[in-house]
Chains A and B, each alone.
Chain A
Amino acid sequence: MQVSLNWLNEYVDLQGLKPEDIGAAFTAIGLEVEGIDKQSAFTGDVLVGKVLTASRHPNADTLQLCSVDVGKEVPLNIVCGAPNARAGLHVVVATVGATLPGDFKIKKSKIRGELSEGMLCSEKELNLSESHDGIIELKGEPVLGSDAAAALGIGDTVLSLNVTPNRADCLGMIGLARDLAAKLKRTLKEPQTGDLRRDAKLHTENHLKINVSDAQGCLRFVGLYIDGVATVPAPAWMQKRLTAAGLRPINLLVDATNYAMLEYSQPIHAYDARNVGGGVLEVRDAREGETLVTLDGQTRLLQVGDLLICDDKGPIGLAGIMGGASSEIRPDTSAILIEVAAFAGSRIRRTSKRLGLRSEASYRFERGVDVDNLATVAWRVAQLIADGLSSGSGATGSTASPRVAADLVDVYPAEVSKKVIAVRVSHTKQVLGLSSLTRSDVIDALTSLEFELLDGTDDRLVFEVPFFRGDIEREIDLVEEIGRLRGFDKIPYQLPVMNIKPTPEDPFISFQESARTAMAALGLRETVSFPFVSLRDIEALRLTPEHAYFPKLTLANPLSDQHRHMQTSLVPGLLRAVYDNRRRSEFGTRLFECGRGYFNFGADKSSLEPAFKGLARPGRHYSPRAKAEAERPSERQWLAAVLDQPYQEKTWQTPSVNTSFYHGKATLLGLLRDFGLADMAQWAVINPEHYPFLHPGAAASVTLNGKLAGFVGELHPASAAALDLLTAEGAPVIIEVDLEILFDAQSKAQRSAVSVKRFPAITRDIAFLLPKHKTHADVLAAVKGFKRKQNLTGCELFDVYTGDKLPAGMKSMAYRFAFQSPDRTLTDQEVEPELEALTSSLNQSLEASQR
């Protein structure tokens, strides 16, 4: 809301206040001032002063020495050449430091040997007129030292106010003035329409029939007939104020409705009476498929629920939002019907949102209007029009002689009564923590805001709520009014004394933070990305709609196609980041992210089994009530990482290293190890159908306690190509784990330390020649199955070789076996038989031999 202080001054006396003070007062009562725009021809202090004495200049006949009181302790000495300067005159004083139009700076100076501390201004010097006959003579008793611009009614300051949606009344100057007057303890001055001349023979009811068919949509409808009008421009002062408020002046008839709207926060519509068929204004619900051409020339398709204004032929306006083109004010309009109505906010809001059609009117109706004030507003519009037509608009050639009807038509289907709310003084003190508050403080605050005290006999004060305060619904709202007016800065700082019973915290919250630290310690950088994905991302990952990872939640109003779906995995976001980094020539990106995958399984949670066993469990952090909501989507807590190519750029120390599956495995294993889960992890080759975006020969899934915990693998070359991520080195390696599975496994894990081994180990290296399809896991299983184990404690792979020198279909794997006793140093003789037995056992079970 743009608030002109000149205009506001009509309703509350702002004398003696700087714009900054007014701004601070508004902000202090919850009407936040976001900007102060001073529109002035001069800067610095140009003040109201009073000439105390005026005497002849000793050295110049045409000059006078004046002593001028500008409200300060010591009067100023000013040399003045104007003939009308005399003692007792109220004048405009440009003081030292001020700058007048034409970049004229006022300085302390000596004029013919006499000191002059400023200048008494003429109209010309302030750019008000060409008059340079003498200095300005201010009328009345203006406050000495106040801003002369205000006293002259020139210049203006416009405050930008942020009016919160609860304060419908503050979308009008009078509402704002009322709050400000209450804060500043000044008087509110509302416009008076008593002197409006009405035509006793002219009756609105002869020109207008109002028919409210939808009483839910229209609480009250007031109409007023005026004829003998003309579409002349509005007076300059009105145009100025509308412009200051951000509205474009059009003509007097339209401007008067806008002006009154800005005064009372009550939208008003003026119809050309000629074009209201049958003189009928009907308010009714729209029918499906009806259309209306609104003032902006757009054809609007309507539906049930939209509130219409119709004449005897059909729709002529979208109630409370925008009028129709057919009955708008035209250059030759001579008779008008003024509509001042109270429409239901929710109806206006729904239609306005659906059509994307917002107007000053709809904005105010959505927030609510004063159902009791419609007649006042109608008369005010009539007054503005009548005054506007008679006050010199005749200059434009109009010979209009307006006739305002003697009465209104007022249709009020179901009278609304004022709310009555009690507020306890004790409760107010308690809620605000303001022990010093008294009964009379409460009464004074609320009555200054026009709440009427009905019963004030005990602690419980009963107030009637004015109609314009639709936001006041219960006691707490009155408490707020009291606190707001008093000022939150008057409430003390206090620390509560409380029961220290702590609410238990879900340990998963700290677990997740630990996982982040672990990943950072493993050399990855944490990123956060938007959890939205596009179909292109999904297609690149080769996911089909049947797949569990195919997005199941879609935004109805996404910012763009790229943000259309909710992610089920963090992988697309990480791959996007890799792509963006590469475009900036940054390779070798290593990122991780903790975030959520959003799934919507509905009641059928079996669709994922067995591949995504456990995925459909309800997520964490829900109340029991939320968990019982069968259709509620679930959110999985993922941790994902990406290792781009290369793993290591060539340096002076090391050769370049390409990122491989094994680097990803090392990272994932590192994470599992940090939580003590590495030993229980079960690794398996992936099923390519479950993970179509992974390289089938370079990926693994990991299972903890029989539950699928995640995967690690190279991005499928086809996916990498689709995402423009395929390079000669290969594709990035990705990891994703379900942190809840890790958390569960960790909380169930048994911990026991192994004692320090005090005797040396004997090691033996053995290279096995074995069929290519045998894996390291096979070897470990065979070692585990070795029955004659005595002192064998370790088995480390140290070499893998495949090549031409080996028989076809074979590979070589070399292991270092360790033998150690907890109670003595072993001898070679003790170890040899066990090693021999081990070797032959392995040879047999692995179809192996020694090279």
Chain B
Amino acid sequence: MTDSSAPEPSAKDPSATALPTRASALAVAFDKELAVVRDSRSAAAVDELRVGYLGRKGKVTALLEDLRHCTKEERPAAGRSINELKQHVEAAIQQLKSEAQEWELSTRLHAEPLDISLPVTASVPQGSLHPVTLIRRELLTEFRRLGFTVFDGPEVDYDFYNFSALNMPSDHPARDMQDTFYLREQENLLLRTHTSNIQIHCMLNERPPLRIVAPGRVFRVDSDPTHTPMFHQIEAFVVDRGVTFAHMKGVIDAFMKAVFGSSMKTRLRPSFFPFVEPGAELDLQCVQCQGKGCRLCKQTGWLEVGGCGMIHPNVFEAVDYDSEIYSGFAFGFGIDRMAMLKYKLDDLRQLFEGNHSFLGHFPLFT
């Protein structure tokens, strides 16, 4: 087009010969204003720009009016140059208008951002499962993977199932190991002191081979920070032909590795439980220090978690299994103790206090 340094033509100048030059100059001026308006991101400025050029008294309109003064020869060229200018301005303004819509939307969206840090009330409040439930599920999952079937049994039971069938005749001092709640209403009726009564119910019900796991609540006359009158045990037992102590070691070790990871170590120490022979205490490598020795394990590197042993032939005979044909093992431990280890709790009693905020701390999926 024209040299931008050309002097600005006067609108009053009726000289039609200057029209193409004026149009070029106006185009330059428009582009400058356009840039300013675009920078302003103002819809109102866009409108102003439009009126200023294309309105009834606009600068382009004024040029068009000046066309009247042109000669017949000049008119085609002048007309063309003005028309080009007009199209340029119209297109630019159209483009700007649609941009202005976006500016406006964007301004509106940014005008009042939400305080995303405000607390919210869920339509359904957060529920939770008890830590004992969570641990029990984790343990049962591993037991089922090893082919165990879950079995349950009564909590109020007769002496036979809880003691005598388990090789603990009355007046046996071993009964002192488990301080028992008795019920007034019937003789020999008690709250089970361990989940081992389920062994008896199960074996009276089923025939070998058996791979059973029995979780449940048990009761003992006891109350201090590490003992509550009710607590949870889980017990697994296997009965078949040719089951050995070495199998028991293998299964316990495999189970604990499945639950605690493959670096977990287990240890058995001889001990006495009337319903097993040989019987043993079951120790886990300390979960806190990995066996190095710490306060939790009293520097021993081991945590005593449960008991185990080969099912006593007297128990098999109490349920009419031939102890010459079948052998088996049982092992059990406290679920609450596992929960305390896992969640680093120091007082067992808080598991059973129903404290709403305490119970809310256990996520559904762990």
Measured between beta carbons, the chain A residues less than 8 angstroms from B268 are: 488-489
Stretch at the interface among B39-47, B59-67, B76-84, B121-129: B121-129
* Complex partner residue of B206 from A503, A522, A563, A596, CB under 8 angstroms: A503
Asked if residues B240 and A499 are in contact (CB atoms below 8 Å), the reply is: yes
- A527/B152 contact (C-beta < 8 A), A476-B313, A556-B183, A580-B355 known: no
Asked if residues A165 and B272 are in contact (CB atoms below 8 Å), the reply is: yes
Asked if residues B253 and A493 are in contact (CB atoms below 8 Å), the reply is: yes
Measured between beta carbons, the chain A residues less than 8 angstroms from B18 are: none
A633 CA / B181 CA spacing, docked (Å): 15
> Does B38 count as interface, using CB distance less than 8 angstroms?
no
Q: Which of A167, A503, A584, A624 has the most CB of B within 10 A?
A: A503
Min Cβ gap B131→A in Å is 9
- A521/B249 contact (C-beta < 8 A), A430-B242, A516-B133, A530-B230 known: no
Asked if residues B127 and A520 are in contact (CB atoms below 8 Å), the reply is: yes
In the complex, 7 of the A-B residue pairs with CB atoms within 8 angstroms, ordered by the A residue number, are A431-B327, A477-B277, A492-B250, A523-B125, A531-B230, A619-B154, A651-B119
Asked if residues B281 and A484 are in contact (CB atoms below 8 Å), the reply is: no
> Does B12 count as interface, using CB distance less than 8 angstroms?
no
Min Cβ gap B264→A in Å is 13
Measured between beta carbons, the chain A residues less than 8 angstroms from B262 are: none
Q: Which residues of chain B in 156-195 are interfacial with respect to chain A, using CB atoms and an 8 Å cutoff?
A: 156, 158, 161, 171-174, 176-177, 181-186, 189, 191
Measured between beta carbons, the chain B residues less than 8 angstroms from A527 are: 130, 354, 359
Q: Which residue of A lies closest to B177 (CB)?
A: A165
Measured between beta carbons, the chain A residues less than 8 angstroms from B74 are: none
A516 CA / B206 CA spacing, docked (Å): 29
Asked if residues A491 and B246 are in contact (CB atoms below 8 Å), the reply is: yes
Q: Which residue of B lies closest to A599 (CB)?
A: B156
* Complex partner residue of A480 from B189, B217, B277, CB under 8 angstroms: B277
| Range of interface residues on A (Cβ < 8 Å) | 35 or more
A235 CA / B361 CA spacing, docked (Å): 62
> Does A6 count as interface, using CB distance less than 8 angstroms?
no
| Chain B residues within CB distance 8 Å of chain A | 118-122, 124-130, 132-133, 137, 147, 149-156, 158, 161, 171-174, 176-177, 181-186, 189, 191, 200-202, 204-206, 209-212, 217, 221, 223, 228-230, 238, 240, 242-247, 249-251, 253-254, 267-272, 274, 277-281, 310, 312-313, 327, 351-357, 359-360, 364
Measured between beta carbons, the chain A residues less than 8 angstroms from B205 are: 623-624
Measured between beta carbons, the chain A residues less than 8 angstroms from B130 are: 526-528
Stretch at the interface among A60-68, A413-421, A570-578, A760-768: A570-578
Q: Which residues of chain A in 18-48 are interfacial with respect to chain B, using CB atoms and an 8 Å cutoff?
A: 27-30, 32
Measured between beta carbons, the chain A residues less than 8 angstroms from B132 are: 528
Q: Which residues of chain A in 539-560 are interfacial with respect to chain B, using CB atoms and an 8 Å cutoff?
A: 552-559
A527 CA / B128 CA spacing, docked (Å): 9
Min Cβ gap B245→A in Å is 5
A526 CA / B359 CA spacing, docked (Å): 7
Stretch at the interface among A251-259, A342-350, A706-714, A717-725: A342-350
Min Cβ gap B277→A in Å is 5
Add 4 more A-B contacts to A430-B327, A516-B129 (CB < 8 A): A495-B250, A506-B151, A523-B127, A555-B181
> Does A500 count as interface, using CB distance less than 8 angstroms?
yes
A750 CA / B230 CA spacing, docked (Å): 40
Mask of A798-811 contacts with B, CB within 8 angstroms, 1/0: 00000000000000
Min Cβ gap A657→B in Å is 10
Min Cβ gap A419→B in Å is 15
Min Cβ gap B87→A in Å is 49
Asked if residues A557 and B221 are in contact (CB atoms below 8 Å), the reply is: yes
Measured between beta carbons, the chain A residues less than 8 angstroms from B174 are: 165-166
Measured between beta carbons, the chain B residues less than 8 angstroms from A366 are: 173
Measured between beta carbons, the chain B residues less than 8 angstroms from A844 are: none
A323 CA / B228 CA spacing, docked (Å): 37
A557 CA / B155 CA spacing, docked (Å): 17
- A566/B278 contact (C-beta < 8 A), A495-B251, A522-B124, A530-B228 known: no
| Chain A residues within CB distance 8 Å of chain B | 27-30, 32, 164-167, 345-346, 349-350, 366-367, 430-434, 474, 476-477, 479-480, 483-484, 488-489, 491-496, 498-506, 509, 513, 516-517, 519-532, 552-559, 563, 566, 573-574, 576-577, 580-581, 584, 586, 589-591, 596, 598, 600, 619-626, 629, 631-633, 635, 648, 651-654
* Number of residue pairs A-B, CB distance < 8 angstroms: 275
Measured between beta carbons, the chain B residues less than 8 angstroms from A651 are: 119, 121
Asked if residues B352 and A528 are in contact (CB atoms below 8 Å), the reply is: yes
- A586/B357 contact (C-beta < 8 A), A483-B270, A489-B267, A529-B352 known: yes
Asked if residues A520 and B277 are in contact (CB atoms below 8 Å), the reply is: no
Asked if residues A626 and B201 are in contact (CB atoms below 8 Å), the reply is: yes
Asked if residues B185 and A553 are in contact (CB atoms below 8 Å), the reply is: yes
A476 CA / B310 CA spacing, docked (Å): 9
A625 CA / B354 CA spacing, docked (Å): 37
* Complex partner residue of A484 from B129, B151, B206, B278, CB under 8 angstroms: B278
Min Cβ gap B105→A in Å is 27
- A496/B247 contact (C-beta < 8 A), A528-B130, A600-B185 known: yes
Asked if residues B161 and A480 are in contact (CB atoms below 8 Å), the reply is: no
Measured between beta carbons, the chain A residues less than 8 angstroms from B246 are: 432-434, 491-494
- A581/B356 contact (C-beta < 8 A), A494-B246, A494-B250, A528-B130 known: yes
Q: Which residue of B lies closest to A434 (CB)?
A: B246
Measured between beta carbons, the chain B residues less than 8 angstroms from A495 are: 247, 250-251, 254
Q: Which residue of B lies closest to A596 (CB)?
A: B155
Asked if residues B351 and A528 are in contact (CB atoms below 8 Å), the reply is: yes
Q: Which residue of A lies closest to B309 (CB)?
A: A480
- A483/B245 contact (C-beta < 8 A), A165-B174, A505-B149, A506-B152 known: yes
A346 CA / B168 CA spacing, docked (Å): 13
Measured between beta carbons, the chain B residues less than 8 angstroms from A167 are: 272
A398 CA / B147 CA spacing, docked (Å): 76
A392 CA / B228 CA spacing, docked (Å): 54
* Complex partner residue of B356 from A433, A525, A563, CB under 8 angstroms: A525
* Complex partner residue of A494 from B125, B184, B244, B277, CB under 8 angstroms: B244
Leading 4 A-B pairs by shortest Cβ distance: A433-B246, A577-B354, A30-B270, A433-B244
A576 CA / B130 CA spacing, docked (Å): 17
Q: Which residue of B lies closest to A531 (CB)?
A: B230
Q: Which residue of B lies closest to A503 (CB)?
A: B149
A262 CA / B149 CA spacing, docked (Å): 48
Asked if residues A503 and B182 are in contact (CB atoms below 8 Å), the reply is: no
Asked if residues B352 and A530 are in contact (CB atoms below 8 Å), the reply is: yes
A626 CA / B122 CA spacing, docked (Å): 48
Measured between beta carbons, the chain A residues less than 8 angstroms from B223 are: 559
Min Cβ gap A457→B in Å is 22
Measured between beta carbons, the chain B residues less than 8 angstroms from A502 are: 147, 149, 211
A580 CA / B350 CA spacing, docked (Å): 12
A236 CA / B364 CA spacing, docked (Å): 65
A66 CA / B245 CA spacing, docked (Å): 56
Asked if residues B359 and A32 are in contact (CB atoms below 8 Å), the reply is: no
Asked if residues B253 and A621 are in contact (CB atoms below 8 Å), the reply is: no
* Complex partner residue of B171 from A345, A479, A499, A581, CB under 8 angstroms: A345
* Complex partner residue of A557 from B153, B181, B230, CB under 8 angstroms: B181
Measured between beta carbons, the chain A residues less than 8 angstroms from B120 are: 653
Q: Which residue of A lies closest to B207 (CB)?
A: A503
A529 CA / B354 CA spacing, docked (Å): 7
Asked if residues B125 and A346 are in contact (CB atoms below 8 Å), the reply is: no
- A624/B204 contact (C-beta < 8 A), A474-B313, A491-B245, A586-B357 known: yes
Q: Which of B150, B242, B356 has the most CB of A within 10 A?
A: B356
Measured between beta carbons, the chain B residues less than 8 angstroms from A498 are: 147, 209, 211, 238, 240
Asked if residues B153 and A492 are in contact (CB atoms below 8 Å), the reply is: no
- A631/B186 contact (C-beta < 8 A), A431-B327, A530-B230, A651-B121 known: yes
A164 CA / B277 CA spacing, docked (Å): 13
* Complex partner residue of A505 from B150, B184, B355, CB under 8 angstroms: B150
- A520/B244 contact (C-beta < 8 A), A480-B278, A580-B354 known: no
A502 CA / B143 CA spacing, docked (Å): 12
Asked if residues B127 and A563 are in contact (CB atoms below 8 Å), the reply is: no
